C-alpha cells in the first residue's frame, strides 16, 4: 500500500503495465497481486482512523521483517555494482541487495524491471537472474541490448552506481527433482538464463538423477553465453550440451580463437525439426521426459511447433 499519513487515505495501488505480465499464467500473476492490493486498499479505506493507525503499525513491523528480498507489489531501487560486456550485444549487470539478504526465489522464476521514459510513461520487462538463487548480497542478470529496444535504451545508459527498480519474483515453473528421467532444453541467446537455474539445481543435488540435454542455439561461438558454467556442468554425468551455431563454419571456428574446446559437441546450422528429432527421445518415451523452451518469440514458436510435430503433447513442455 502506498505511503500513508495518519488520518489521510492512501493512494490507490498502481495498476500493472501490460508489459509487466509475461503471459505465461504465473501464480500469482502481476494482475492477481494488483487485485489483492486493491481489495486491501478498499478494506483500509473503509476503516476508522484508529483502526487505520493500528493496521499501519502492524504493516510497518511486517515490512521491516520481510525486507530481506524484493517485493511482489512494490518496486525496490537497487544499485549496480558491476558491469561486464560478455558478447557484442549482451552485458552482465550485478545489483547490490541489502546486506546479508538473497533474492529468495525459486528455480525458473524471473523479476520485473521498470524504467521511466522521458515523457513520464513507464516501460517494464522481465529478466531472469543467472546468479545462484541463494547468493547473498547481490544478484546478476545477463541482458541482450537491442538498438531500438524500449528497455534496452534505458539499460545502455547504466553505469556502475546507477540505480534501477525491480520487483518480483514471478513465474509458475516448479522444478521437482527426479520427476522426469530426462529434461531436454531448447534455448537460444539469453534464453539460457532460466536453463542455468534448472541445470544448477539438478547437478548440485547428488540425489537428483534427472538427465539434462541442452541444445543451445547461437550465431557464432562468440555469442555463447555462460560457457564457463556450461563447461563446469559437463563434468557431471547427467548433463550434456550441443551448441547449434547458425552463422559460422568449422573452418571459421578453427581459424578464430574463441570459447569452443575440441571436446565440445557442435552442430553447424540452425535448430531445425530434424535436429530436434535427433536430439530428443522419441514421443513413445514422452511421459518420462520434459522439454523446456526459452528464446525469442519466433524461436519459441518454432520449437513448440517442432516438439508438437514430433508427437509430444502440450503437457510435455514448458516455455519460459
Which residues contribute to the site for ligand FAD (CB under 6 A)? 22, 110, 125-128, 141-144, 146, 148-152, 190, 193, 320
User: From the CB of residue 43, how many other CB atoms can be counted at a distance below 10 Å?
Assistant: 11
107 Cβ contact partners less than 8 Å away, ≥ 6 residues apart: 133, 173, 175, 197, 198, 201
CB nearer to ligand FAD: pick between 47 and 115: 115
CB nearer to ligand FAD: pick between 52 and 319: 319
Alpha-helical regions (H) of 95-249 = 150-155, 192-203, 227-233
Residue found by looking up cell 529496444 in the block = 149
Q: Are 196 and 202 in contact (CB under 8 A)?
A: no
Interior/surface letters 7-20, b for 16+ CB within 10 angstroms, e for the rest? eeebeebeebeebb
> What is the C-alpha to C-alpha distance for residues 16 and 122, in angstroms, rounded to an integer?
10
Query: Cell numbers at residue 193, please?
Result: 538464463
Q: Which residue is nearest to ligand FAD (CB)?
A: 149
Among residues 187, 177, 203, 208, the alpha carbon closest in space to that of 271 is found at 187
Alpha-helical regions (H) of 181-285 = 192-203, 227-233, 250-255, 273-279
Residue 243: CB minimum distance to ligand FAD, A: 19
What would you report as the CA-atom Rg of the chain, rounded to the nearest whole angstrom?
22
Amino acid at each position: 500500500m502506498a505511503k500513508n499519513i495518519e488520518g489521510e487515505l492512501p493512494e490507490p495501488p498502481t495498476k500493472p503495465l501490460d508489459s509487466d505480465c509475461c503471459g505465461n499464467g504465473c501464480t500469482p500473476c502481476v494482475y492477481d497481486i494488483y487485485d489483492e492490493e486493491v481489495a486491501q486498499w478498499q478494506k483500509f479505506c473503509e476503516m476508522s482512523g484508529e483502526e487505520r493507525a493500528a493496521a499501519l503499525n502492524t504493516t510497518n513491523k511486517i515490512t521491516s521483517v520481510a525486507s530481506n528480498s524484493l517485493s511482489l507489489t512494490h518496486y525496490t531501487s537497487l544499485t549496480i555494482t558491476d558491469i561486464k560486456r560478455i558478447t557484442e550485444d549482451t552485458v552482465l549487470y550485478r545489483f547490490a541487495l541489502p546486506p546479508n539478504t538473497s533474492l529468495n526465489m525459486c528455480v525458473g522464476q524471473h523479476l520485473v524491471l521498470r524504467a521511466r521514459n522521458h515523457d513520464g510513461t513507464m516501460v517494464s520487462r522481465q529478466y531472469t537472474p543467472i546468479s545462484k538463487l541463494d547468493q547473498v548480497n547481490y544478484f546478476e542478470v545477463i541482458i541482450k541490448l537491442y538498438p531500438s529496444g524500449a528497455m534496452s535504451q534505458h539499460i545502455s545508459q547504466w553505469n556502475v552506481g546507477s540505480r534501477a527498480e525491480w520487483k518480483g519474483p514471478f513465474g509458475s515453473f516448479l522444478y521437482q527433482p527426479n520427476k522426469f528421467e530426462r529434461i531436454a532444453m531448447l534455448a537460444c541467446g539469453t534464453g539460457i538464463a532460466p536453463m542455468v537455474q534448472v541445470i544448477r539445481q539438478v547437478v548440485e543435488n547428488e540425489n537428483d538423477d534427472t538427465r539434462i540435454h541442452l541444445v543451445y542455439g547461437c550465431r557464432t561461438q562468440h555469442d555463447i553465453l555462460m560457457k564457463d558454467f556450461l563447461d563446469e556442468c559437463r563434468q557431471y554425468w547427467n548433463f550434456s550440451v550441443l551448441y547449434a551455431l547458425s552463422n559460422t563454419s568449422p573452418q571459421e571456428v578453427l581459424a578464430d580463437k574463441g570459447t569452443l574446446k575440441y571436446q565440445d559437441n557442435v552442430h553447424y546450422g540452425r535448430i531445425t525439426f530434424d535436429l530436434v528429432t535427433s536430439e530428443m527421445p522419441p514421443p513413445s518415451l514422452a511421459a518420462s521426459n520434459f522439454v523446456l523452451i526459452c528464446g525469442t518469440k519466433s524461436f519459441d514458436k518454432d520449437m513448440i511447433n517442432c516438439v508438437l510435430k514430433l508427437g509430444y503433447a502440450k503437457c510435455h513442455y514448458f516455455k519460459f
